[in-house]
């Protein structure tokens, strides 16, 4: 007989409406991230109204990007029922798609209003990784995004209905959501430290460096943790998240190296550069 404690999906109910822990956790992640970004933007003398606009647009774009990315690599699951593509409440959102959607919308917004994209990315990216750290606990409440079976002391119990068919005989699994949450929390501390160093030594850490460090740091962790996941999106025998992570690491590391090498002779996207902003 199996013995285990499962996480509750429902936090509380208001009449016929169930309020889920997943929604509460994601909402908390957004609000906490926004509060920190607001403080950072205001402390740098930037317009906080732009922050609010970017947040709203980026959130919508991230959801769309996350869903399209997931559907793209799982298209065979939707051929017979295309309407299911729009049923995001059934699950199926991919973080890399969310990042693509969110970053692309921010690029377009900053270009339209004549803002320095790299500066704004640096101001917001610590909030992003902290939000990811908090948001992963929503996966725990939903009993999703867990890893392969394990007997380690910190393994989590997964109810039979949530287990992959090939692992239905196992009860305890790697808490990969926890691994990523801790990794991202440490990443938040790293980015905040580098943000301080960036203010003191701007030539060593040109504007835009925090975004690139985030890309490297998060992708290294995600690539390692992905190897334990049981629900990876696949491209043939290759885990898509690991492939994308390698591409991001190489791209960001190359760009960061070039920027730092050039910083003694020229400014790269300097924070002090004046731009004409549209109102």
Q: pLDDT per residue over 140-149, tens digit each?
A: 998 988 999 9
Mean pLDDT for the stretch of residues 106-123: 98
Q: Which of 17-21, 53-57, 76-80: highest mean pLDDT?
A: 53-57
pLDDT at site 77: 78
Strands 238-239 and 234-235: antiparallel
Instruction: Render pLDDT for 266-276 as a digit per residue (tens, 0 to 9).
Output: 654 454 454 45
* pTM to 2 decimal places: 0.89
Residues 200/166, Cβ–Cβ less than 8 Å: no
Mean pLDDT for the stretch of residues 163-191: 96
pLDDT band at 79 (very low <50, low <70, confident <90, very high): confident
pLDDT of residue 198 exceeding 80: yes
Mean pLDDT for the stretch of residues 131-151: 93
Residues 127/158, Cβ–Cβ less than 8 Å: no
pLDDT of residue 264 exceeding 80: no
What burial letters (b/e) apply to 74-111, b meaning 16+ CB within 10 Å?
Answer: eeeebeeeeeebeeeeeebebbbbbbbbbbebbeebbe
pLDDT at site 271: 44
pLDDT at site 72: 87
């Amino acid at each position: 007989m199996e013995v285990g404690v499962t996480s509750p999906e429902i936090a509380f109910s208001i009449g016929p409406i169930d309020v889920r822990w997943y929604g509460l956790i994601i909402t908390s992640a957004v609000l906490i991230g926004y509060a920190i970004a607001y403080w950072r933007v205001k402390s740098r003398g930037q317009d906080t109204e732009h922050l609010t606009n970017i947040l709203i647009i980026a959130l919508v774009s991230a959801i769309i990007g996350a869903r399209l990315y997931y559907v793209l690599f799982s298209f065979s699951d939707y051929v017979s029922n295309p309407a299911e593509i729009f049923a995001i409440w059934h699950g199926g959102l991919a973080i890399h798609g969310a990042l693509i959607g969110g970053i692309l919308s921010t690029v377009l917004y900053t270009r339209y209003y004549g803002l320095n994209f790299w500066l704004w990315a640096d101001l917001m990216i610590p909030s992003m990784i902290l939000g990811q750290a908090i948001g992963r606990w929503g996966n725990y409440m939903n009993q999703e995004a867990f890893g392969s079976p394990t007997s380690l002391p910190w393994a989590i119990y997964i109810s039979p209905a949530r287990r992959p068919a090939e692992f239905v005989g196992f009860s305890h699994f790697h808490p990969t959501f926890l691994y990523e949450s801790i990794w991202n929390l440490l990443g938040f501390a790293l980015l905040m430290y580098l943000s301080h160093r960036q203010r003191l030594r701007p030539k060593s850490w040109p504007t835009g460096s925090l975004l690139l460090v985030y890309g490297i740091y998060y992708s290294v962790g995600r690539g390692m943790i992905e190897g334990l996941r049981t629900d990876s999106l696949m491209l043939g025998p290759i885990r898509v998240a690991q492939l994308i992570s390698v591409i991001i690491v190489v791209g960001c590391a190359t760009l960061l190296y070039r920027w730092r090498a050039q910083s003694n002779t020229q400014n790269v996207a300097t924070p002090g550069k004046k731009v004409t902003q549209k109102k």
